[in-house]
């Protein structure tokens, strides 16, 4: 697991970064810091969005501790077709083949991608990978949007 993360001081964490909150890779949405209190040190309250389930995750950590940041990679792949149940047929970067293991979870996105392909437009899908998993994030063509941004 150590190779999938990097370590930073919790005080260096910023909104928009990715962080492991309760062992889930999340995009940080909000950060609030409390001051030293009578019964302990300062704490950092973090709210993030799990990049795989799109559910909000909250965590409270001491400001003196380090944070684990998941190494999140983004890859844009060309869409060839939208298959059953929202899965997409994607052309590999090196054009050596295709893959059909990524699912567009948002029905509206799947419909828009299908319409754009039917109109002869090229569509790119952004796939996020972290902690050994991959997930659909967004698409690009005439209109683009991110699943993480839409659900904030």
pLDDT in tens, 80-103: 999 988 899 999 988 889 999 999
Res 124: pLDDT:
94
Res 142: pLDDT:
57
Give the neighbor-by-neighbor strand order of the sheet with 56-62: 18-21, 24-33, 43-50, 56-62
Angle at alpha carbon of residue 24, lines to 20 and 28, rounded to 5°: 55
Model confidence at 145: pLDDT above 50: no
pTM as predicted:
0.78
In angstroms, how far is CA 43 from the centroid of its own chain?
25
Distance (Å, rounded) from C-alpha 138 to C-alpha 123? 10
Distance (Å, rounded) from C-alpha 7 to C-alpha 78? 33
How does strand 124-130 pair with strand 98-103? unpaired
- Distances in whole angstroms, Cα of residue 101 to Cα of each of 22, 88, 89: 27, 7, 8
């Amino acid at each position: 697991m150590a190779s999938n993360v990097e370590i930073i001081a919790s005080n260096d964490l910023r909104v928009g970064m990715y962080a492991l909150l309760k062992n889930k890779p999340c995009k940080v949405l909000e950060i609030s810091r409390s001051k030293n209190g009578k019964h302990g040190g300062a704490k950092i309250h973090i709210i993030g969005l799990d990049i795989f389930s799109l559910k909000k995750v909250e965590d409270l950590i001491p400001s003196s501790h380090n944070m684990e940041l998941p190494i999140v990679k983004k890859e844009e792949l060309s869409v060839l077709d939208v298959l059953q149940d929202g899965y997409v047929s994607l052309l590999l970067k090196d054009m050596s083949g295709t893959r059909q293991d990524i699912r567009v979870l948002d029905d509206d996105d799947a419909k828009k991608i299908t319409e754009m392909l039917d109109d002869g437009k090229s569509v790119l899908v952004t796939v996020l990978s972290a902690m050994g998993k991959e997930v659909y994030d967004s698409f690009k063509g005439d209109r683009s949007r991110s699943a993480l941004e839409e659900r904030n």
